[in-house]
Structure 1
Amino acid sequence: MSSARIVEIDEISAGIVVPEPGGFRFFSAHPDYHLLEGRIFRSPRHATRAAEELRASRRTRRQQH
């Protein structure tokens, strides 16, 4: 079985994903990624992609204000 993996975005530890039946559960390690807390992803890569998208959406919102 797989073990927990760190999800890093731009050298920031966004969180970890832990394998469980049905996928990988995300646990945030940084407050910017708390919206992903507890979500289940098909793979660590899917969790990383969601964290990248969250970061990009926050950048866009900051630039608009």
Structure 2
Amino acid sequence: MSHTQSNAYIIEIHDRAAGIVTRDARGFRFFSSERLFDSLEGRQFRSAREAERAARAVFSERRNRLS
């Protein structure tokens, strides 16, 4: 049985496409698909899960600023 891992993941936060992360030699690089998440553009993460946590933090920070 072969286990392959994906080289790209879509990150969605509350039904919004935050961006995608693609695997490279150093981990996962984030590519924003929505302006709100542009601060993460090009950032390197150790895992797709770490990138998702960062996107959730950006979303949460933005929501708290608007409250």
Q: Same fold (TM over 0.5)?
A: yes
Q: CA RMSD in A?
A: 1.0
Query: How far apart are 1:10 and its partner, in Å?
Result: 0.6
Answer yes or no: is 1:51 the counterpart of 2:55. yes
- Return the TM-score normalized by structure 1: 0.91
Moved over 6 A (4+): none
CA distance in structure 2 between the aligned counterparts of 1:15 and 1:2, rounded to whole angstroms: 15
Letter in 1 for 2:32: S
Instruction: Report the counterpart of residue 31 of structure 1 in structure 2.
Output: 35
Give the paired residue count. 63
Letter in 1 for 2:6: S
Gaps of 5+ in 2: none
Instruction: Report the counterpart of residue 9 of structure 1 in structure 2.
Output: 13
If each structure's helix is expressed as a fraction of its own residues, which one has the higher value?
Answer: 1
Letter in 2 for 1:44: A
Letter in 2 for 1:11: D
**Pairing partner for 2:23 from 14, 19, 26:** 19
- Return the TM-score normalized by structure 2: 0.88
Q: Which has the larger radius of gyration?
A: 2
